[in-house]
């Protein structure tokens, strides 16, 4: 049995393995699609390596709306197959694949015109519930009167909201989930190499037989041999196809989506809210004791590595939310902002090699090379299965079928029982029941590894800051088990302090650095450099915040 632990020692071994072993599959990209593809291939018994230049989920997969959903708006486009597929994935994740991370969340769909809206939306939500099939983990939708709405969501304006329909979807911390999929792949033998960028392809005649990978820390080039290279590079796909001299059958456009994060007190509601906007929908999503509100949909041509929310994005979100909310949301309420890039796929007219579905596209632009892009977070497992099915055709010998529909990700095993033992675990560990619940929802049964760390060093059981639930052991564990290698990895993705804490968590940088520096064997200079690098990112966010300030001043003058 292999180990799911991603730590500095495993990082060294991964780079060594890239240089010395021959792989069946080399996956480019450590977003949810790449992590899913590595897991799919490894669990078929294939020898797999994954390379990612920055961090797991550093691209779009940490910046989504964090909903595991069928997509209500696809119903209006009559794309029932797509909705059904996503809903079935949702049910599987909530019940068996990742119940510790993927949680049900209730939404209200506010109604305005009494009879017309209720009939139309009610029929849509009934269909949404039916399409998930027989496995039904989440409750059926429910009609609410105006009085019910005023009790459940006093924030909705009574003068224009005449009632609502309550329905269920699910939500996930996307960055943690992607990291846990990668750890599951490691447990099935996949080599996960972070800080490793694919620079070019190695060819034998017209067949791709591997790739040249840059170790981004030491700047060494490593030649990796592989039976097939599988590219899952999201919005980097066009750039890489071009760099590799490949003519792909599709193009990827980038569309930016921004979100704002607000304190719980800003919106009085027990449930989330979905609002229809002129172009799409806007979600008001509960996030612990906070709210995430978004998103936007605008064409983007800037730096893929650092999409930032600008003044227009925030204006749009506030204006759409304030159509129905009372009291109105204000600029000063905003705690955090983040933006991500949707990889939107369009097919090239002259391509014969592309198999296009409404949501994602798989392609084989060269022998020994396949790629995938598009889709949505919810259907990552299906995407992974599709691309590895195509990759399997490039390998000699029989490749087994995908088994990921029955393969829980690490931490899922035994989670249901642990939830029932919270008081017992709290008593034995000396932590509060609230902390145990917090840990179970982030680590599942891997909580035992966190508790072991605290047993060895009780100071790790203390909270990092009194304002948020994270404890010091989580910061330590991010490096000792979850592959984090920088302050940014810990603040932005292993935890979500980057948008949950004031000022992007700047006041916590020294405490975080103190905990992780010894594990990473950092010199003082390396520690300061990691803090500086995060501050640059946070400063860029602040530039957006200053724009907000100007806006506030304009409005109040
Ligand atoms: C605002 C927004 C909201 C969304 N909300 C939802 C939602 O609520 N629900 C839902 O289901 N979906 C949602 N989505 C869609 C979903 O987030 C994406 O479809 C999904 O995260 C894409 O994952 P990916 O792995 O394909 O791409 P990415 O996560 O971007 O991964 C691509 C990876 O490739 C790596 N890479 C780049 N160059 C190289 C190289 N040379 N070598 C190796 N690796 C390389 C990158 O560093 C990156 O990590 C949303 C998207 C956005 C933008």
Identify the weakest region by mean pLDDT among 87-91, 132-136, 263-267. Answer: 132-136
The answer to whether residue 555 is domain-embedded is no
Give yes or no for a contact between 108 and 156, defined as CB atoms under 8 angstroms apart: yes
- Whether residue 144 lies inside any domain: the answer is yes
Judge if the beta carbon of residue 530 lies within 6 A of ligand 1. no
Residue 430 gets which letter from DSSP? T
The span from the CA of 281 to the CA of 75, in Å, is 13
Task: Evaluate if residue 497 carries a pLDDT over 60.
Answer: yes
Residue 513, both tokens: 């650095």
pLDDT band of 80, cuts 50, 70, 90: confident
50 with 192, same domain? yes
Pair (296, 371) in one structural domain: no
Asked, for residue 68, whether it belongs to a domain, the answer is: no
Specify the higher pLDDT residue, 392 or 503: 392
pLDDT at 548 over 90: no
Closest CA to 509 of 531, 492, 525, 490: 531
Judgement on whether residues 307 and 287 belong to the same structural domain of the protein: yes
- For residue 544, the model assigns a pLDDT of 66
How far apart CA 503 and CA 296 sit, in angstroms, is 23
Q: 26-49, pLDDT tens digit by residue? A: 999 999 999 999 999 999 999 999
How does DSSP assign 457-494, residue by residue?
-GGGGSBS-TTS--BHHHHHHHHHTB---SHHIIIIII
Q: Same structural domain for residues 148 and 259?
A: yes
Beta bridge partners of 196: 215
Q: Is 317 in the pocket of ligand 1 (CB under 6 A)?
A: no
Distance 10 CA to ligand 1 centre (A): 25
The answer, yes or no, to whether residue 545 has pLDDT greater than 80, is: no
Cis link prior to 327 (omega < 30° from 0)?
yes
| Measured distance CA(145)–CA(51) in Å, rounded | 52
| Residue percentage of the chain with pLDDT more than 90 | 84
Whether residue 462 sits in one domain with residue 337: no
Q: Domain containing 470 — which CATH number?
A: 1.10.8
In this structure, the dihedral spanned by the alpha carbons of residues 435, 438, 439 and 443, taken in order and rounded to 10 degrees, is 180
Q: How far apart are the first and last CA of the chain?
A: 66
Nearest CA to ligand 1 atom 48: 59
Residue 267 structural domain: 77-171+254-342
pTM summary value = 0.96
Question: What is the rounded distance in angstroms from the CA atom of residue 443 to the CA atom of residue 427?
Answer: 19
* Cα–Cα distance measured from residue 159 to residue 318, given in angstroms and rounded to the nearest whole number: 19
- Which residue(s) pair with 290 in the sheet? 263, 287
- Which of 309, 342, 375 is the last residue before a domain boundary? 342
The Cα 492–Cα 509 span in angstroms is: 12
Per-residue pLDDT at 187 exceeds 90: yes
- With a CB cutoff of 8 Å and minimum separation 6, the contacts of 493 are 55, 56, 57, 58, 62, 175, 176, 179, 484
Regarding whether 239 and 375 lie in a shared domain, the answer is yes
Shared domain check, 227 and 104:
no
Span from the CA of 375 to the centroid of ligand 1 (angstroms)? 9
CA distance 422 to 222: 47
Q: Which domain CATH number covers 300?
A: 3.30.9.10
Ligand 1 atom 35, closest CA? 29
Atom 36 of ligand 1, nearest CA residue: 29
DSSP, collapsed to helix, strand or coil, labels residue 397 as: coil
| 333: in domain | yes
208 lines ligand 1 (CB under 6 A): no
pLDDT at 349 over 70: no
In ligand 1, which atom is closest to the CA atom of 59?
Answer: 30
Output the domain CATH number for residue 218.
3.50.50.60
Q: Based on the fold, state whether residues 167 and 239 are members of the same structural domain.
A: no
Q: 457 pLDDT band (50/70/90 cuts)?
A: very high
- The pair phi, psi for residue 162, each rounded to 5°, is -95, -5
Instruction: Express each pLDDT in 121-164 by its tens digit.
Output: 888 888 888 888 776 789 999 999 999 999 999 999 999 999 99
Amino acid 219: pLDDT: 95
The whole-angstrom separation of Cα 129 and Cα 521 is 52
pLDDT tens for each residue of 517-528:
999 999 999 999
Helices then strands (H, E): number in the chain? Answer: 19, 19
List the structure tokens of 129.
């519930």
CA distances to 215, 287, 466, 521 from 139, in Å: 48, 20, 35, 49
Cα of 34 from ligand 1 centre, angstroms: 9
Assign 351 a pLDDT band (cuts: 50, 70, 90): low
Q: Is the CB of 307 under 6 A from ligand 1?
A: no
Select from 342, 365, 396 the last residue of a domain.
342
- The DSSP code sequence of 148-167 is HHHHH-TTB-TTT--EEEEE
- Give the integer Cα–Cα distance in Å for 220 and 226: 19
Q: How far is the CA of 66 from the centre of ligand 1 (A)?
A: 12
Predicted confidence (pLDDT) per residue in 94-122, tens digit: 999 999 999 999 999 999 987 778 888 88
Please give the tally of structural domains in the chain. 3
pLDDT at 77: 78
Mean per-residue pLDDT of the chain: 93
Is the model's pLDDT at 551 over the cut of 70? no
| pLDDT the model gives residue 557 | 46
Q: Are 325 and 422 within one domain?
A: no
pLDDT at residue 474 greater than cutoff 60: yes
Dist. CA 166–CA 149, nearest whole Å? 9
Q: Are both 491 and 515 inside the same structural domain?
A: yes
Same domain, yes or no, for 424 and 530?
A: yes
Within this chain, do residues 163 and 263 fall inside the same structural domain, yes or no? Answer: yes
Residue 66 lies in a domain: no
- Closest-CA residue to 306 (of 529, 496, 533): 533
DSSP per-residue letters across 197-261: EEEEEEEETTEEEEEEEEETTTTEEEEEEEEEEEE--GGGHHHHHHHTT---SEEEEEEEEEEEE
Give the tens place of pLDDT for each residue, 370-390.
999 999 999 999 999 999 999
- pLDDT for 337 equals 93
Question: What is the chain's Cα-based Rg?
Answer: 23
Q: Which two tokens stand for residue 356?
A: 């296009």
Report which DSSP code applies to 141: P
Strands 250-263 and 336-347: antiparallel
- Final residue of a domain: which of 386, 406, 426? 406
Residue 3 lies in a domain: no
Q: Whose CA is nearest to atom 15 of ligand 1?
A: 376
Note whether 376 and 71 are within 8 A (CB): yes
In a domain, 387, yes or no: yes
67 CA closest ligand 1 atom index = 8
What pLDDT is stored for residue 133 in this prediction? 77
Give the mean model confidence (pLDDT) for residues 334-357. 77
pLDDT of residue 452: 98
């Amino acid at each position: 049995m292999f180990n799911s632990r991603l730590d500095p020692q495993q990082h060294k071994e991964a780079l060594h393995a890239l240089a010395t072993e021959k792989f069946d599959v080399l996956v480019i990209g450590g977003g949810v699609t790449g992590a899913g593809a590595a897991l799919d291939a490894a669990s078929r018994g294939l020898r797999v390596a994954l390379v990612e230049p920055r961090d797991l989920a550093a691209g779009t997969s940490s910046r989504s709306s964090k909903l595991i959903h069928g997509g209500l708006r696809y119903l209006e486009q009559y794309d029932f197959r797509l909705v059904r597929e996503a809903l079935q994935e949702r049910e599987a994740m909530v019940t068996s694949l990742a119940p510790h991370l993927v949680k049900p969340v209730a939404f209200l769909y506010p109604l305005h015109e009494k009879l017309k809206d209720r009939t139309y939306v009610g029929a849509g939500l009934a269909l949404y519930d039916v399409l998930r099939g027989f496995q039904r983990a989440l409750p059926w939708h429910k009609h609410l009167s105006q009085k019910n709405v005023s009790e459940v969501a006093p924030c909705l304006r009574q003068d224009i909201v005449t009632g609502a329909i309550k329905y269920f979807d699910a939500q996930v911390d996307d960055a943690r989930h992607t990291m846990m999929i990668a750890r599951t792949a490691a447990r099935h033998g996949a080599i996960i190499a972070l800080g490793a960028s694919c620079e070019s392809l190695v060819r034998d005649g017209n067949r791709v037989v591997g790739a040249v990978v840059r170790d981004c820390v030491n700047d060494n080039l490593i030649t990796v041999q592989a039976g097939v290279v599988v590219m899952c590079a999201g919005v980097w796909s066009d750039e890489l196809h071009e760099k590799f001299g490949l003519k792909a059958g599709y193009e990827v456009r980038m569309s930016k989506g921004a979100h704002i994060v607000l304190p719980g007190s800003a919106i009085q509601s027990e449930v989330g809210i979905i609002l229809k906007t002129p172009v799409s929908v806007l979600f008001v999503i509960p996030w612990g004791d906070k709210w995430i509100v978004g998103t936007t949909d605008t064409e983007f041509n800037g730096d893929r590595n650092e999409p930032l929310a600008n003044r227009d994005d925030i204006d749009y979100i506030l204006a759409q939310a304030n159509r129905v909310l009372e009291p109105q949301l204000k600029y000063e309420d905003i705690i955090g902002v983040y933006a991500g890039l949707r990889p939107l796929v369009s097919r090239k007219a002259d391509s014969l090699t592309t198999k296009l579905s409404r949501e994602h596209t798989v392609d084989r632009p060269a022998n020994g090379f396949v790629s995938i892009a598009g889709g949505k977070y919810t259907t990552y497992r299906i995407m992974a299965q599709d691309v590895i099915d195509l990759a399997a055709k490039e390998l000699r010998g029989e490749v087994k079928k995908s088994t990921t529909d029955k393969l829980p990700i690490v931490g899922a095993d035994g989670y249901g029982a642990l939830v029932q033992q919270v008081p017992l675990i709290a008593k034995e560990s000396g932590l509060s029941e609230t902390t145990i619940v917090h840990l179970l929802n982030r680590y599942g049964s891997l909580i035992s590894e966190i508790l072991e760390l605290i047993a060895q060093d009780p100071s790790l059981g203390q909270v990092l800051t009194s304002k948020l639930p994270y404890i010091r052991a989580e910061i330590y564990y991010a490096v000792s088990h979850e592959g984090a290698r920088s302050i940014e990895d810990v603040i932005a993705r292993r935890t979500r302090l980057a948008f949950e804490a004031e000022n992007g968590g700047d006041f916590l940088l020294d405490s975080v650095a103190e905990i992780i520096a010894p594990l990473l064997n950092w010199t003082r200079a390396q520690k300061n450099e990691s803090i500086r690098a995060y501050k640059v990112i946070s400063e860029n966010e602040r530039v957006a915040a200053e724009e907000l300030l100007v806006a506030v001043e304009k409005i109040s003058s």
